[in-house]
Amino acid sequence: MKIFIILILSAFASGIRLDKCTVMQKIRASGLVGMKGYRLGDYMCVFYYTSYYDTRLNNSPTEYGMCQIASKWWCDNGRTPSPRNLCGKKCSGM
């Protein structure tokens, strides 16, 4: 489930700051709304307070993109010791 959500969200991360309406449209189109009881507002709140809808954001050297995906678990940045890389992707693509 978590991997599915991360892959969907990384698919629309294009290295820019997105406006609120674009983020809402992408979330609706992804089919995430209603999954496990999460509403559109839940996703919007998380993305806003995590990254302000900026797909380029790096709050720390090991977190990437609008969701601040951690390299320890989800992607490979080439620097994190023993990454799990559960998505099988490079962090630069997140």
Return d(Cα 22, Cα 3) in angstroms, integer. Answer: 22
Reference 23, options 45, 6, 3; nearest CA is 45
Q: What is the pLDDT of residue 33?
A: 94
Overall domain count for the chain: 1
For 9-56, write each residue's pLDDT tens digit: 555 555 788 899 999 999 999 998 999 999 999 999 988 988 899 888
What pLDDT is recorded for position 56? Answer: 83
pLDDT at 12: 55
Residue 94 belongs to a domain: no
Boundaries of domain holding 27: 2-89
Non-local CB neighbours of 24 within 8 Å, separated by 6+ positions = 40, 44
Give the CATH number, domain containing residue 73. 1.10.530.10
* pLDDT at position 19: 92
